[in-house]
A and B are shown apart, each in its own frame.
Chain A
Amino acid sequence: MILIGERINGMFKDIREAIVNRDPEPVRYWARRQYEQCAAYLDINTGPTVEAADQPAVMEWLVKTAQEAAPLPCCIDSTNPDAIEAGLKVHKGKAMINSTTADQFKMDIYLPMAAKYNAAIIGLAMNEKGVPKSASDRIALAMEIVVNCDMHGIPMEDLYIDPLMLPCNVAQEHGVEVLETLRMIKTLADPPPRTTMGLSNASQRCTNRHLINRTFLIMSMACGLDSAIADVDDDELLNAVAAANILLNKDIYCDSFLKTFRSR
């Protein structure tokens, strides 16, 4: 399970304030903390309050600050292509772009960018019309992304399809469709694309968020989820992933499996 730490995001108050005051400390803290908590990538998002014109500069600052604090690649998360490219320009190592949709005009922007910077990319199984309800409609959009990646020479191991989980309190019927989509994604190509999801979405504005996130993550892993953008500060989530890795025969069992999962 490739964990992408969600915490460096302007939606969180401490990061929002850090951006306003150009205070690197909260960014550094969360970069280090998420590194210690097994994150493989740091998601970096300026958040919605930063003006579009300022987003590239803020993204550049966040990426540099985070990478100075922890030896991790970033998942550069924005709806603004200029902000993404600004992040990619200063990024050390192999970045991940978060994200393109299946709209042709977006793929025509982001896929050449992924190829140019040798970055991985998240492809959302949605388009301008929104998130499809059924698994088969999601898969049709995922296939568009697979084909376009192939045309740009982006290998399937660098493509992470996100079937898009919606909050279970408002869109409860999507859960099973997402699970089915995960299974089907693995049949789209050989080798298959990878999969990811914004896990915390599942429990937006719900009670018992940790429990919902954890349960859905494990169900999704059983269906072929390779990666998740998640709250890695949640120890029980990490323990559940460690156990699932054993049960799915991804890690070799030993009595200290919780501890070995935490050690790099």
Chain B
Amino acid sequence: MAVTIAKEKWTSKVGEMVLGTEPNAVKVGGESTLPFLHFEGEIPNKPVMALEVWDLEPTDWPEILKQPFEGVLGDPVAWAKKNVEYGADVVALRLMSAHPDFKDASPEDCAATAKAVADAINVPLIVIGCGVEEKDAQVLEKVGEALNGKNCLIGCATEKNYKTITATAMVNGHNVIASSPLDINLAKQLNILMTEMNLPANRIAIDPLVGALGYGIEYAYSIMERARMGALMGDKMLAMPVICFVGQEAWKAKEAKSPSDETPEWGAQERRAILWEVITATTFIQAGGSILVLRHPESVKQVKAHIDKMMESNAY
């Protein structure tokens, strides 16, 4: 009698999201099995790497992170172009200037920056607000209008501001990042609320607000894994691609920020910090992350090499 190889049979799949417009559109999601189990199902799209651009010069970035962007840190358009040169599949514009503690920039100014960046690059654009929920709703409403038809990914929508952001995404043809703090119930609930406004489920990306290596990565991993298994078993309100803000978390870690001379026993900072970002990213890719927002170009290069290997079929 022939040996039957036990394979998991999933009944459903992750929705496929399209970012940007042809000929430069990028697809994410669409998996019908767990990450890279090519022998069990389809992995039609590989995870994509986004590099961050800020609309004001970051003050708290370590020198080694600023170094690759020397000369463009104060110019979001030039910075975005640099990111594309560095191999970013997608550019993630963070409108930090809107933050009341920084410039408290107006929604109109933010929208003009977003438009200028979008027009200068040939890859899809993610636009993230400053993290203040009320302000983000105002800013993203204008940004959504300015980027009408460019099929961007905008966010982050939360329980408090999802209505405005969802509405602007629907009117102007964008996708939305739905953020919830490492809580599967809240993630699912927010997706339900957004789809009840008639935003198609495949235009939502889940942001589980992950932590970095050493800072709760296991918890984030298990939440993502559970959500993904739910999705594959037919839970449509969890069957969305997942976006992970890896860079912002990894570069907050003291293991990434501490200079070589302060902690010589940890090894050279550059290698250590980039590894911190790379390991955080590859871990979340294994948990089902589809869009990884990174900060250092060398991390993009290394994670891409990892993904290329993982995308080689292991079907049998």
**Which residues of A approach B to under 8 Å, CB–CB?**
157, 191, 251-256, 259-260, 263-264
**Contact between B230 and A260 (Cβ–Cβ < 8 Å)?**
no
Complex: A191 Cα to B230 Cα, angstroms? 20
Contact partner, B189, options A251, A254, A263, Cβ 8 Å: A254
The answer to whether the Cβ of B165 comes within 8 Å of any Cβ in the partner chain is: no
Number of A-B residue pairs, CB cutoff 8 Å, is 31
Interface of A is mostly: loop
List, in ascending order, chain B residues with CB within 8 A of A254's CB. Answer: 184-185, 188-189, 192, 237
Complex: A157 Cα to B226 Cα, angstroms? 23
**Contact between A252 and B189 (Cβ–Cβ < 8 Å)?**
no
C-beta contact mask, B199-243 vs A, less than 8 Å → 1, else 0?
Answer: 000000000000000000000000000110010000111100000
Complex: A256 Cα to B235 Cα, angstroms? 13
**Contact between A255 and B235 (Cβ–Cβ < 8 Å)?**
no
**Contact between A255 and B236 (Cβ–Cβ < 8 Å)?**
no
**Contact between B230 and A252 (Cβ–Cβ < 8 Å)?**
yes
Complex: A251 Cα to B236 Cα, angstroms? 11
**Contact between A256 and B184 (Cβ–Cβ < 8 Å)?**
no
**Contact between A251 and B192 (Cβ–Cβ < 8 Å)?**
no
For B230, give the chain A residue with the smallest CB separation: A252
For B235, give the chain A residue with the smallest CB separation: A252
Interface of B is mostly: helix
For A249, give the chain B residue with the smallest CB separation: B226
- Pairs across A and B, CB under 8 Å, 12 listed: A251-B230, A252-B184, A252-B185, A252-B188, A252-B226, A252-B227, A254-B184, A254-B185, A254-B189, A256-B192, A260-B192, A260-B237
Give the residue among A157, A254, A264 with the most B Cβ atoms within 10 A.
Answer: A254
For A251, give the chain B residue with the smallest CB separation: B235
The answer to whether the Cβ of B9 comes within 8 Å of any Cβ in the partner chain is: yes
Complex: A198 Cα to B188 Cα, angstroms? 33
Complex: A259 Cα to B191 Cα, angstroms? 13
Given contacts A252-B230, A254-B237, contact A260 B6 (CB under 8 A): no
Query: In the assembled complex, how far is the CB of residue B242 from the closest CB belonging to chain A, in whole angstroms?
Result: 14
Query: In the assembled complex, how far is the CB of residue A232 from the closest CB belonging to chain B, in whole angstroms?
Result: 18
Query: In the assembled complex, how far is the CB of residue A128 from the closest CB belonging to chain B, in whole angstroms?
Result: 31
Complex: A263 Cα to B201 Cα, angstroms? 13
For B238, give the chain A residue with the smallest CB separation: A252
Contact partner, B185, options A253, A263, A264, Cβ 8 Å: A253
**Contact between A255 and B9 (Cβ–Cβ < 8 Å)?**
no
Given contacts A157-B9, A191-B6, A260-B192, contact A255 B185 (CB under 8 A): yes
For A254, give the chain B residue with the smallest CB separation: B188
Interface residues of B in 3-20 (CB under 8 A from A): 6, 9
Query: In the assembled complex, how far is the CB of residue A167 from the closest CB belonging to chain B, in whole angstroms?
Result: 34
Complex: A3 Cα to B216 Cα, angstroms? 40
